[in-house]
Amino acid sequence: MLQEQATQQEETIMHQVEDRPLLQKQKELDAEDDASESQAGADSETSTSSVEDSQDLTRQRHHLLEDHDQELFFLQDRLENVHKQFFEEYERRRKRNLEKGRISILRGERTIRDRDIDLELLPDIKVVMPQIKAKVLGGLVLVFSGVLPLGTDLQNADISLWAKSFGAIISSRIGSKTTHLVAGRNRTAKVREATRYPRIKIVTTQWLLDSLTSWKRMNEEPYLIPVHPEDRGEPVLGSSPGSKLESSWLSSSDDDTGVSLSDDEDVNEEIIRSSGMTEHSPVGYTVAEQAAVHDELKEFLGSDDDDSDDEEDEDYVDDGEEDDDADNDS
């Protein structure tokens, strides 16, 4: 009975294999390739050039399906990494608990049974996996250019939430702490601004996607965006991390964590909104123009201080003259 069922199952499988439409289509393509090769072989008897063509045809085979999907291999690596981290954390907890158990025995205290210990020491995969992911892009500050439509909430966009789950910090503006500019196209205002900071890597969105899908920070070299020589600006002095620079409309101190803006950025945004411009507006102050504005403001504030000092000096002179007149009268 079992043998009959096995035989019927094998026959059913064979029929399914033979009736597969994709396989039948592949057989048709193979037959067409064979016919082309035979025709090329017949023509090769009359011409030497056709021999070379026939050799090319024999090398070219049509494939209906091509397997380029490597996701399962990537998934295997990620699951093995999670498995490794999970049990390493479990072993660390178990060793710490054994040490505490020995101390409890020496003190004469009651110890917990092993089967209860195992359940209590099991790590939470909801904690282990985010910790692994946070190490992928940890310490990187990303700025997007030409990636999200205008008006999109930067911090709550899908690509931003995904990147932040892997440890990245998302900022709206370029500054000395920016590490990567993820650009959808070159020759944007932010690309020009990023060229002034030698440490900023200007990469395509594919670099970020590949890093997120593979759970590994990819090498930036193959993903670098070529920058036109005319778009390269003058390097910013003191653009090393931690330096304090005057901020412009497209560059700021970026002391934020990617969730909220700094005080200076809030002020700049209020000025931009009141002027009717956005951060993507082509019109804005340059660094030199903003420095001139600061100088004028300092001169204005300094003139008030000078006037107050002059008034105090005049009061001092008047008091001195009155004292001299009083001495002469006496």
- In this prediction, residue 161 carries a pLDDT of 95
In tens digits, the chain (330 residues) has pLDDT values of 778 888 888 888 887 777 776 777 777 888 877 777 777 666 655 555 444 444 444 445 566 666 677 778 888 989 999 999 999 998 898 888 877 766 666 666 555 555 555 677 888 999 999 999 999 999 999 999 999 998 999 999 999 999 999 999 999 999 989 999 999 988 889 999 999 999 999 999 999 999 999 899 999 999 999 988 887 878 876 655 444 443 443 433 333 333 333 434 443 443 344 344 444 444 444 556 666 766 776 776 665 555 555 544 555 445 554 455 545 554
SS3 of residue 84 by DSSP: helix
What residue segments make up the domains of the chain, in order of their start? 19-63, 72-133, 140-275
* C-alpha atoms less than 13 angstroms from C-alpha of 186 in its C-beta half-sphere: 14
- In this prediction, residue 59 carries a pLDDT of 47
Instruction: Return d(Cα 173, Cα 146) in angstroms, integer.
Output: 13
Look at the pTM and tell me if it is higher than 0.75: no
Report the 10 Å Cβ neighbour count for 64.
13
In this structure, which topology does domain 140-275 adopt according to CATH?
Rossmann fold (3.40.50)
Q: Which of 213, 212, 231, 210 is nearest to 221 (CA)?
A: 210
- In this prediction, residue 260 carries a pLDDT of 37
Cβ distance 146 to 184 under 8 Å?
yes
DSSP state letters, 107-170: HTPPPPPHHHHHHHHPPPHHHHHHHHHHTTSTT-EEEEESSS-TT--TTTSHHHHHHHHTT-EE
